Amino acid sequence: MTMNDPLASALSKINNADKVGKKQVTIYPVSKVIKGVLDIMNREGYVGTYEEVEDSKGNHLVLNLLGNTNECGAIKPRYSVQLEDFLKFEKRFLRAKDFGVLLVSTSKGLMTHVEAKEKKLGGVLFSYCY
């Protein structure tokens, strides 16, 4: 099976499992970006911890869900954003002010839009969660 956007697929699996009340979800394929996004979502309190499981078909992640996500998804196309443009994208992708996070890939690594604003960095938007 070919997959065009593994991050979008992983976030979709999280959304669907959360909506039906599952406690765990299996995510594959595994990538550094997906792990980075899950680490940030865990730190922000949206999902639980994950465990990487090795098998013959390639590794997969078993993610524990907390039931705290309303919605999360990938942002396509991946918008380049400058420091002064964050407010515009917050209004577009998040439900309310200070409700949820945009995930940004910056020159200093993956972080939330709040951290990027504090560090005065721009970057590329690639997902949101609230």
Instruction: State the alpha helices, DSSP H only, in the chain.
Output: 6-19, 32-43, 86-93, 113-118
- Predicted TM-score of the model (pTM): 0.92
Same domain, 55 and 79: no
Contact 101, 112 (CB under 8 A): yes
11/60 same-domain check? yes
pLDDT digits (tens, 9 = 90+) for 18-55: 999 999 999 999 999 999 999 999 999 999 999 999 98
Domain with 122, as residue range(s), is 75-129
Q: Are residues 45 and 92 in the same domain?
A: no
- List pLDDT tens digits, range 52-106: 999 888 899 999 999 999 999 999 999 999 999 999 999 999 998 889 999 999 9
| Per-residue pLDDT at 78 | 94
What is the rounded distance in angstroms from the CA atom of residue 123 to the CA atom of residue 75? 13
Specify the length of the chain in residues. 130
Please report whether residue 70 resides in a domain: no
Both structure tokens of 36? 């980075």
Contact present, 95 and 73 (Cβ < 8 Å) = no
Residue 93 resides in a domain: yes
Q: What pLDDT does 58 receive? A: 84
Instruction: Tell me if 72 sits within 8 A of 100, measured CB to CB.
Output: no
Tell me the one-letter amino acid at 105: S
pLDDT band at 4 (very low <50, low <70, confident <90, very high): confident
